[in-house]
Amino acid sequence: MKKQKDTFSEWQLYTDYQWVWEMISGTSDYEPLSAYVVAKISEHETHKTKTLLHLGCGSGNMDFHLKNHFEVTGVDLSADMLTSARKKNPECRYFTGDMRSFSTNNRFDAVIIPDSINYLRSPEEMQQVFGNARKLLNPKGLLLVIVAYDPEKFPQNRTTVDTVSDKGIEVTFVENNYAPGFEENTFEATFVILIRDNQRLKTLIDIHTLGLFKKETWFSEIKNAGFKAVMYQDPELEATEQEGAFLLIGKNQK
């Protein structure tokens, strides 16, 4: 078997190798989490939620389900991910932007930040995101934040392996989560991807550094941004995401 040049970098799964992400992550994977979000919005809304802003929307897998309930607008840093999102969801509007600073003249009944919120590495970044979300909300609008990792239940050195194939290309996807020092409030998600195409092997290593903060820190920062907040860490969400995942809901007091 011929071996191609190995690639070592950061965030390639969201850019040059976004097609690999499409192979390993489909719309059906996000159906349970989408249903959970819809139920929580219905439970906490004070008026009918019609418009929803998804910050860090990625390739639109979650929006594929949310668009059945709301008018969805998505924002993401990766133009490659948004190209995929537009193909899946031509009914939705998408913009390239940073959740810390994205601005528009439109205001929304709900803002959601699942998954991508884990890339915040400091309370200062939390304040930037939560403060910006508040600006983008209608009065009494809802902010929903899903944090996947709780330091008290962190899966130290967990490694998972999955293999998928399509049209003659086989991808083996290895993910390892490791916190070098919990006091640093970060951890590494390292992805090793073996791509076999027509008997040619290419190895891709993608390292992502994510934030790892206590629930109390997240809860304090969302309240400091001016929200009336509640927090959930329930079995339904943990079954959908992973053990330790929790939900923050902030109601805009404007």
Question: How sure is the predictor about 15, in pLDDT bands with cuts at 50, 70 and 90?
Answer: confident
Cβ neighbours of residue 54 closer than 8 Å, sequence gap 6 or more: 62, 63, 66, 72, 73, 74, 75, 111, 112, 113
| Predicted pLDDT at 13 | 85
What's residue 220's pLDDT? 97
- Residue 132's SS3 state is helix
CA distance 143 to 75: 15
CATH class in words for 27-149+213-252 = alpha beta
Name the amino acid, one letter, at 58.
Answer: G
Mean pLDDT, rounded, for 215-224: 97
Least confidently predicted of 5-14, 42-51, 179-188:
5-14
* CA–CA distance, 84 with 208 (Å, rounded to integer): 21
Q: What is the pLDDT of residues 142-165, one digit of tens each?
A: 999 999 999 999 999 999 999 999
Residue range(s) in the chain whose domain bears CATH number 2.20.130.10: 2-24+151-211
Least confident of 11-15, 52-56, 126-130, 234-238: 11-15
User: Packing angle between helix 215-224 and helix 123-136, nearest 10 degrees?
Assistant: 40
pTM of the model: 0.93
Q: What is the pLDDT of residues 25-66, one digit of tens each?
A: 999 999 999 999 999 999 999 999 999 999 999 999 999 999
Q: For the chain, where do the domains classified as CATH 3.40.50.150 start and end?
A: 27-149+213-252
Q: Which CATH fold topology does 2-24+151-211 show?
A: S-adenosyl-L-methionine-dependent methyltransferases (2.20.130)
Could you tell me the two tokens for 247?
A: 């939900």
